[in-house]
């Protein structure tokens, strides 16, 4: 099952993305609003692996704390949510892009250094191949993607979001917790 490291957004930005989720759901289109689990919230996935052991878990916490405390590097305290992006296939994903900054890419690379020995990291999440985003809809038919994009684009504005926390998701235990 999936293990992930995710950036959570401040309340204002979280609300903005949830409004987009709800708008899509109200139109009868695929939307993350349809996933009612307590852990379902807007986020930016930084890393995924099939297993993250306790040693890596502690190293992740230390890394995040060091960056937030202005130690040897700077944690990205904010991100900009940009335009729409589509990840294709017969069941596509519609997302808000996250503008990659030097600080965000540095965090991503540092997290992947910590997780280098963790199994099951998808190639598209490795540094140099990752597209940061916040998912709006998953498993959508291509025609639904077009309809969703055309409805959203008329009122789409960049969102300057604060990073409120770093979360670990354990898909095996179906549990999440904050780190760092």
Name the residue range of residue 45's domain: 3-171
Does residue 176 belong to any structural domain of this protein?
no
Amino acid 145: pLDDT: 92
Amino acid 68: pLDDT: 86
Tokens of 105: 């890419």
For tokens 């040897």, the residue is: 72
DSSP state of 105: H
Tokens of 116: 């280098």
Q: State the total domains in the chain.
A: 1
Does residue 178 belong to any structural domain of this protein?
no
Does residue 179 belong to any structural domain of this protein?
no
Does residue 125 belong to any structural domain of this protein?
yes
Does residue 180 belong to any structural domain of this protein?
no
Amino acid 37: pLDDT: 80
For tokens 């963790």, the residue is: 118
* CATH for 132: 3.90.1140.10
Does residue 115 belong to any structural domain of this protein?
yes
Amino acid 153: pLDDT: 92
Amino acid 70: pLDDT: 77
Amino acid 124: pLDDT: 94
Question: pTM of the predicted model, to two decimals?
Answer: 0.94
Tokens of 143: 């025609």
C-alpha angle 72/73/74, rounded to 5°? 140
Whole-angstrom CA distances from 164 to 73, 78, 83 are: 18, 9, 21
Amino acid 36: pLDDT: 79
Identify the H or E element spanning 143.
helix 142-152
Amino acid 35: pLDDT: 87
Does residue 166 belong to any structural domain of this protein?
yes
Does residue 143 belong to any structural domain of this protein?
yes
Amino acid 146: pLDDT: 92
Residues of the chain with pLDDT under 70: none
Identify the H or E element spanning 178.
strand 175-179
């Amino acid at each position: 099952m999936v293990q992930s490291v995710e950036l959570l957004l401040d309340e204002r930005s979280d609300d903005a993305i949830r409004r987009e989720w709800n708008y899509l759901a109200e139109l009868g289109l695929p939307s993350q609003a349809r996933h009612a689990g307590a852990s379902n919230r807007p986020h930016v996935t930084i890393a995924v692996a099939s297993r993250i052991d306790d040693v890596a878990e502690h190293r992740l916490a230390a890394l995040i704390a060091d960056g937030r405390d202005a130690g040897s590097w700077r944690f990205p305290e904010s991100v900009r949510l940009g335009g729409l992006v589509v990840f294709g296939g017969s069941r596509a994903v519609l997302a808000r892009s996250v503008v990659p900054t030097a600080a965000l890419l540095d965090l991503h690379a540092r997290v992947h250094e910590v997780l280098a020995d963790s199994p099951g990291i998808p190639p598209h999440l490795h540094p140099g191949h990752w597209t940061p985003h916040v998912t709006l809809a998953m498993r959508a038919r291509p025609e639904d993607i077009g309809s969703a994009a055309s409805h959203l684009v008329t009122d789409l504005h960049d969102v300057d979001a604060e990073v409120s926390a770093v979360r670990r998701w354990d898909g095996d235990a179906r549990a999440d917790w904050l780190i760092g």
